[in-house]
Structure 1
């Protein structure tokens, strides 16, 4: 469990880090509310322990800001209060805190409360996983994929950074189901996602949009590099094999559509729509291929070096 301690007292903060690490927790610190908000936006924490009074805001205000900005990932918020405070409990919880601890901290009691918090955090993470991932493959589900895609689109637009999107679809998937059954069809879907996750970077993410259709967002990726990723992915899936009882082996291929951010695009949906057009062209152009949208100078991207030259021309 990862804990962020927010306290502007160097002595108290150092003591807390020492005691919390003795209990086996990973601990980071912040001295102001603004610093805590910035770190919570950039890093993943499970618990935030905040002093009730900071230099730039109160602990209650910080809890409120953290709670409103937490997104899909729940934070367990603990406010540390002086022993003299006896009548503001409702305000603490209303502000977003999950519980409070009295200073100076009793470390046996604090350890017990953090153990209880770890159980709540574990249950919350399970709920988050169920709410945001596809149960068959572990990829992001459609809703969460679109949320994260929208976040990356806004970041790319704000900082004028490249962003590319792939859409892929398993070729002749109905034939797989009809010939081998839906169980093997499910395994083919899982195989496709595994190949995606093994090919892309940790900063990229894949989502299952429905059935045998998937999409991948590639932040900080220009068209030529994205085309190379698409080709590696297509080749990896074509090279993989799926055992089919009793002694058969199934090989599958995918068609891929590629698009990238353009000044005229209004959101991540626009990139997905362009990728879908390219995917449709790949399906009707022979399958097991990568196509791009918008089409480039030499009509469209082909597999191999010719396709790479077309994309480079952009």
Structure 2
């Protein structure tokens, strides 16, 4: 039977082992350790999966990390951990190297086939202090490692560090993928998503509609009411787009005052209904200039549908853009559909 690597090498209680570097076990935790362990109120929350075949190790980590605000799940085997990863979302994995079914390194290899080190940080817990073993774990994709016997304050600091790095990476990803003013996808991200949806539509025979929306006379808004008012218009129009569409729809800021919406599994008639709802909602918005005088904006929308004659995204975008051009040429504040005759009267 393996000894508990989380117990202290000195001063340990026989009936309640503590952690390396402390003699008081959980009583030390309850009274507030003088060793600089942060209280639960100061901890950053996170979902952690602990994979260790030793029940004592799992229990100690479960109790101590839970008290610090973390949401803990445990697994005794590698295959159990893989099943949990397939059905749950975790922020960090604490992984023992030596386990009976899949070794920690084998499990790490399987995990890295799906999750990169930023998406799911993995900290290895190892009694193997040879540099070659540690290097192997790091080369396989481990973010960090802890050697046994483990001092809990060290483990806690490394957990905090990896979770902080993960959240920083997520924030940078968000900044790189989304327009900061409207919180919609930026052009590059939308284009990548549109490519994926076109592939899905082609492969499975799904219908797909694309909307291009342009705010009418937006330059006059900036010229007459100022750029702050113009930013507010863009922000609120983006909010209307995000709040009006279905969860499966994808919306982005195409550039300037132009927006784009990809609607999977949507017919042209369904897309038109959604576009008219957008147009009407935007027309009802009230904005205020610096002098508190109210003003309104309208929008024009062009719609195109994916078909077998379209091989690349720019062809679909060009069709929607031509419909948008007709909407603007027909008097603005209207919806036009690619391939259908121009409406004879302005939409109301």
Range into which the TM-score falls when normalised by the shorter chain? 0.7 to 0.9
- Is 1:227 equivalent to 2:227 in the alignment? no
How far is 1:223 from its partner? 2.4
Structure 1 length-normalised TM: 0.78
Q: Are the structure 2 counterparts of residues 60 and 14 from structure 1 closer, same or farther at C-alpha, using a change threshold of 3 Å?
A: closer
| Contact kept? 1:63, 1:77, Cα under 8 Å | no
Q: Are the structure 2 counterparts of residues 230 and 17 from structure 1 closer, same or farther at C-alpha, using a change threshold of 3 Å?
A: farther
| SS of residue paired to 1:216 | strand
Aligned to 2:39: none
| Contact kept? 1:165, 1:272, Cα under 8 Å | yes
Hey, what's the Cα distance between the residues in 1 that align with 2:49 and 2:268? 42
Instruction: Name the stretch that deviates more: 252-261 or 97-106.
Output: 97-106
| Contact kept? 2:336, 2:342, Cα under 8 Å | yes
Aligned to 1:124: 169
| Contact kept? 2:49, 2:94, Cα under 8 Å | yes
Instruction: Name the stretch that deviates more: 44-53 or 216-225.
Output: 44-53
Hey, what's the Cα distance between the residues in 1 that align with 2:270 and 2:60? 46
- Can you list the C-alpha shifts for 1:144-171, whole angstroms capped at 9, x where unaligned? 1112222232233333323222110010
- Is 1:291 equivalent to 2:336 in the alignment? yes
| SS of residue paired to 1:202 | coil
Hey, what's the Cα distance between the residues in 2 that align with 1:61 and 1:190? 44
User: Which has a greater percent of helix?
Assistant: 1
- Can you list the C-alpha shifts for 1:41-66, whole angstroms capped at 9, x where unaligned? xx865334455576498134235423
Q: Which runs of 5+ in 2 are unaligned?
A: 1-44
- Can you list the C-alpha shifts for 1:2-52, whole angstroms capped at 9, x where unaligned? 54638595969975995555543345688548757856xxx8653344555
How far is 1:233 from its partner? 0.7
- Is 1:80 equivalent to 2:124 in the alignment? yes
Q: Are the structure 2 counterparts of residues 209 and 36 from structure 1 closer, same or farther at C-alpha, using a change threshold of 3 Å?
A: farther
- Is 1:199 equivalent to 2:244 in the alignment? yes
Q: Are the structure 2 counterparts of residues 206 and 105 from structure 1 closer, same or farther at C-alpha, using a change threshold of 3 Å?
A: farther
| SS of residue paired to 2:248 | coil
| SS of residue paired to 1:58 | helix
Q: Are the structure 2 counterparts of residues 49 and 155 from structure 1 closer, same or farther at C-alpha, using a change threshold of 3 Å?
A: farther
Between Structure 1 and Structure 2, how many residues are aligned?
A: 296
- Can you list the C-alpha shifts for 1:243-273, whole angstroms capped at 9, x where unaligned? 1121311100110111222122224333222
Aligned to 1:311: none
- Can you list the C-alpha shifts for 1:126-181, whole angstroms capped at 9, x where unaligned? 21122111122222111111122222322333333232221100101122222222
Q: Are the structure 2 counterparts of residues 10 and 165 from structure 1 closer, same or farther at C-alpha, using a change threshold of 3 Å?
A: farther
- Can you list the C-alpha shifts for 1:108-134, whole angstroms capped at 9, x where unaligned? 544332222222122212211221111
| SS of residue paired to 1:88 | helix
User: Alpha carbon RMSD of aligned pairs, Å?
Assistant: 3.5
Hey, what's the Cα distance between the residues in 1 that align with 2:155 and 2:342? 63
Q: Are the structure 2 counterparts of residues 13 and 183 from structure 1 closer, same or farther at C-alpha, using a change threshold of 3 Å?
A: same
How far is 1:287 from its partner? 0.8
Aligned to 2:37: none
| Contact kept? 2:283, 2:297, Cα under 8 Å | yes
Hey, what's the Cα distance between the residues in 1 that align with 2:61 and 2:201? 37
How far is 1:201 from its partner? 2.3
Structure 2 length-normalised TM: 0.71
Q: Are the structure 2 counterparts of residues 15 and 226 from structure 1 closer, same or farther at C-alpha, using a change threshold of 3 Å?
A: farther
| SS of residue paired to 2:280 | helix
| Contact kept? 1:4, 1:28, Cα under 8 Å | yes
Instruction: Name the stretch that deviates more: 101-110 or 157-166.
Output: 101-110
| SS of residue paired to 2:121 | strand
Aligned to 1:269: 314
Instruction: Name the stretch that deviates more: 89-98 or 128-137.
Output: 89-98
Hey, what's the Cα distance between the residues in 2 that align with 1:161 and 1:155? 7
Greater C-alpha Rg = 2
Equivalent position to 1:58, from 101, 106, 111: 106
Equivalent position to 1:188, from 233, 240, 253: 233
Q: Are the structure 2 counterparts of residues 248 and 161 from structure 1 closer, same or farther at C-alpha, using a change threshold of 3 Å?
A: same
